[in-house]
Amino acid sequence: MKIGRKRKSKAEIPTASMSDIAFLLIIFFMATTKFDVKEGIRMVLPQAAPDDAQKTETITLTEKEMTRIQITPTGLIAINNDAPADIDTRRLDAIISQKLNENGEMIFRVITDRDAKYNDMIRVVDRLKAANVEKISLSTN
User: How many domains are contained in the chain?
Assistant: 1
CATH number at residue 89: 3.30.420.270
Whether residue 82 is contained in a domain is answered as yes
Task: Give the residue numbers spanning the domain of 131.
Answer: 63-140
Q: Which of 138, 57, 67, 68 is nearest to 105 (CA)?
A: 67
What's the pTM value of the predicted model, to 2 decimals? Answer: 0.59
String of DSSP letters for 73-129? TTS-EEETTPPPB---HHHHHHHHHHHHHH-TT-EEEEEE-TTS-HHHHHHHHHHHH
Residue 17 domain-assigned (yes or no): no
Written as tens digits, the pLDDT of the chain (141 aa) is 677 777 777 777 777 788 888 999 999 999 998 877 777 767 666 677 676 655 667 777 777 788 899 999 998 998 887 888 888 888 988 988 998 888 888 889 999 988 888 888 888 999 998 888 888 888 887
- Residue 72 domain-assigned (yes or no): yes
Is the residue at 28 inside a domain? Answer: no
